[in-house]
Structure 1
Amino acid sequence: MGEARRYVGAAERRTRLGAGQRLSGSARAAGPEEVADSLVALHGSDPATVYLAVGARLAEPGRTVAETERALYTDRTLVRMHGMRHTVFVFPAGLTAVVHGSTGITVAARERASLLKDMAVAGAPDAAWLKEVEESALTALARRGQATAAELAEDEPRLRERFAYAAGKPYEGVHTVSTRLLRVLGVEGRVVRGRPLGSWTSSQFRWAVAPAHPELDVAEAQASLLGRWLAACGPATEADLKWWTGWRVTEVRRALTAIGARAVTLDEGTGYVVAGHEDPVAAPAEPWAALLPALDPTAMGWRERDWYLAPELLPALFDRSGNVGPTVWWNGRVVGGWAQRPDGEIVWRLLTTDGIGTEAHQAIAEEAERLRAWVGETRVTPRFRTPLEKELGGRGA
């Protein structure tokens, strides 16, 4: 008979979450590189999320903005690029080749084919013309160092060409060549997002030529990425892994075999951990609270979330597309949400009273004040608004 699988309950998973996600007091990090390395990827679709996610996990958050900007734009130890599920993330620079090899190559081929198809249907120029334009744009970008799409169009006017897509469909529209082409080049790993035009909350980015990286075998890269994430976020189910990576189930299973993942029993069924992570984890000496931003990588980290997020809380905390809003955490569970009002006040509301006492209220209030202090005069409105955030923030839809 085979060896019995160890059961890992929800309470232990929440303990692992607090330490592995740098949220419990003793696990907080010294800098943004430590945070990104521990979480593997920071959601970058909303620029403010990167900074708020880092600040929530730093022992001393006062220099969150300065240190994160240094890592992103001066030292380039963190890179903003397309990754899993065709989403923009911030990764440790050392992972760019792994992300590109594991995920980017397949998505890039699909995106380029889609662009060429849309252009052909619209009667736009052909692939040879597009190739000429992109090489010209990349040359201009290398010369400038960083540039917006509009600036690149000054050097290569053909980037301003417009074409219609999805004619006759509810989502029909018009794209410029620059909008679609720069997106394709980003997924292909040839360009990355650069410094924004405005503050750290700005969504208007410059572009930069991507740093060179080796081309990795797809299976090797997938094993490496899945191993890194499972070490940080395990245990996880096959459904969690398929959802987080965006891969086919056959690719997930191949990578699990390649890294020698160990099976454990979860309330959801079979889960997996990396070798050496099977042993029980001791609960932290002190409870912890956290205020995490919209699209935070912890709140969005798993497909099956009941062990840290009660289903009845979903309507208040998520939008219709499945994007999570700002969340309040207590000891590894989502217990409410928060928002910033126009005057800068951080307001929060509990959505459950289960296990919430005076100690929890005090700890959450301290986290709200901690957040308010380092955000300062900056006003943050999530890119994807959720029902509770709209209500608490008082800024309308």
Structure 2
Amino acid sequence: MSAQPAPSATPVAHIPWPAAVARRLERHSLTQAAEPPAAPTVPATADVPATPTSPDTPTTPSAALARVASALCGAHAQVLSAAEVSLALRLPGTTRTDVRRALWTDRTLVKTYGPRGTVHLLPTRELPLWTGALTAQRAATARGGGAGTDHLDPARTDEVVAAVGDALADAELTVDELTDAVVERVGAWAGERVMEAFQDKWPRWRSATAIAAQRGALCFGPVRGRRVTYTSPQRWLPGFTPADGDTALAALVRRWLYAYGPASPPHFARWAAAPRGWADRLFRTLAARGEIEPVDLAGEPAWVVAGDTALPAEPPRGLRLLPYFDAYAVGCHPRDRVFPGRAYERALAGGQAGNFPVLLIDGAVAGVWHQRRSGRTVRLAVEPLAPLSAAQRGELDEEARRLGDVLEGTVRLTVGPVRVGAHA
């Protein structure tokens, strides 16, 4: 996407911080309302339509979970059990089994590499959007302008991606099985163990795993015993192709601003793991086209989707328990407002969000928690960073029961210090 002259950044609206928090909570399905918000009303994906064969109907729990994942711009699934909680806690009456059914049976969700090159649960219908946008981002921000990796030049990367797509077209393969299949198709060089990984070395081709996913050649399949498998996302959404890169990137920015705005280009760059300069140019282009507009966020410059300045009538309220790497904690900025006071040191890991499950009160991080399961019993420890009022303690008890329902177990709640360290 080519850069345009910088537009005027004079804010057209003032958005107080409490109002920004209230609308983020609403759009993340974290209010006390019984139903999640509808799909975003901004024209986010009308110009990157999904293949109509998607098994998504408007009335099923699986379809509702896909809508929530869409509104969040994906659920981080490096820890799959946390992603299950993250989605299910936003839909009353939904459990981890419903998420698994949406993913592996109804296939309204797909587990693949999403933003930041990390594993996410994404709505299957949005595979054209995500593959188009992420491929365009990588091409625009790759070192030297290429689309290769530290271990593969662009040409060999293309060979590996083609081999992966061919091998997985109608199969579910473990890493070792896929290694054999790729080596068979492109040669022994793809299997050379050159990648440093967890005190071991991985085969060369694996440096292109995320690229293969972002181009639509690979996604995760069901676990086989304890072993991860890969398969083709065409089995989730037959016939799809990545959307045009510039169109998909613009749609992704609008979706992200709808969920996390008002926000700035550096905030988007951090969420996308992209250079700030690239994000700034992207925002300028969209502003010049009238797709986004500047606002004043509590005295700081920020951006929203054009025309999206309506604010909730009520201030942010409510207590929630968010799991590891929940989208709200990871994607919302500024960090010092989302993690105020002691929370900045206690609930972040070197400034990195998501490494602790967090207690959220009125939209701000106010503590950490940890759960340990034994059979159907879930032992939950919650460490508030300030004393809870009687009303807040009642809300915590209710939220703990809800967590137990999501996990299909019985929670035993303790309020006190959490001694478990940050997740890596």
Corresponding position of 1:339: 370
Question: Are 1:147 and 2:147 matched, yes or no?
Answer: no
Partner-residue secondary structure (3-state), 1:341: strand
Q: Please report the TM-score for the alignment, with normalisation by the length of structure 1.
A: 0.79
1:363 to 395, 408, 413: 395
In structure 1, C-alpha distance between the alignment counterparts of 2:363 and 2:423, rounded to whole Å: 30
1:179 to 193, 198, 206: 206
CA shift for structure 1 position 21: 0.7
Residue 309 of structure 2 corresponds to 278
Q: 1:53-64 maps to which residues of 2 (within 5 A)?
A: 53-61=86-94, 64=95
Unmatched segments (≥5 aa) in structure 2: 1-7, 37-60, 412-416
The corresponding residue for 2:28 is 21
Rounded Cα–Cα distance in structure 1 between residues aligned with 2:338 and 2:33: 20
d(CA) in 1 for partners of 2:423, 2:117: 29
One-letter amino acid matched to 1:364: L
* One of 35, 38, 43 as aligned partner of 2:71: 38
1:322 alignment partner, SS class: coil
Aligned partner letter, 1:8: I
SS at match of 1:319: coil
SS in structure 1 at match of 2:307: coil
Question: 2:9 and 2:270 mapped to 1: Cα distance?
Answer: 29
Partner of 1:260: 291
Q: Is the 8 A contact 2:11 2:301 kept in 1?
A: no
Question: Once the 2 structures are TM-superposed, how far is the Cα of residue 56 of structure 1 from its aligned partner?
Answer: 1.7
Any residues of structure 2 matched to 1:1-397 within 5 Å, and which? 5-26=12-33, 28-29=35-36, 31-61=64-94, 64-107=95-138, 112-116=148-152, 135-144=162-171, 146-153=172-179, 155=181, 161-165=191-195, 174-177=201-204, 179-197=206-224, 204-211=227-234, 212-247=239-274, 248=278, 249-258=280-289, 260-267=291-298, 269-283=300-314, 287-320=317-350, 322-324=352-354, 325-343=356-374, 344-353=378-387, 356-376=388-408, 391=419
| 1:95/1:143 CA distance change after superposition, 3 Å | closer
Aligned in 2, Cα 1:113/1:242: closer, same or farther, shift over 3 Å? closer
Q: Name the CA distance, whole Å, in 1 between partners of 2:158 and 2:33.
A: 52
Secondary structure of 1:174's match?
strand
Look up the SS of the partner of 1:95 in the other structure: helix
The answer to whether the 8 A contact 2:319-2:362 is kept is yes
- Are residues 3 and 237 of structure 1, via their aligned partners in 2, closer, same or farther at CA, if it must alter by over 3 Å? closer
Q: Which secondary structure does the structure 2 equivalent of 1:45 belong to?
A: coil
Deviates more, 1:101-110 or 1:131-140: 131-140
| Cα distance in structure 2, aligned partners of 1:378 and 1:131 | 49
Gaps of 5+ in 1: 118-125, 380-387
Q: CA deviation at 1:282?
A: 0.9
CA RMSD, aligned part only?
A: 3.5
Aligned-pair distance for 1:171?
9.5
d(CA) in 1 for partners of 2:298, 2:420: 34
Answer yes or no: is the 8 Å Cα contact 2:113–2:213 preserved in 1. Answer: yes
* Gap change, CA 1:323 and 1:234, over 3 Å in 2: closer
Counterparts in 2 of 1:38 and 1:153: CA distance versus 1, 3 Å: closer
In the alignment, the residues of structure 2 paired with residue 333 and residue 18 of structure 1 have an alpha-carbon distance, to the nearest angstrom, of: 10
Which amino acid counterpart does residue 229 of structure 2 have in structure 1? R
Q: Distance in 2 between matches of 1:326 and 1:6?
A: 34
Distance, in Å, in 2 between the alignment partners of 1:16 and 1:396 is: 29
Give the TM-score of the pair, scaled to structure 2. Answer: 0.75
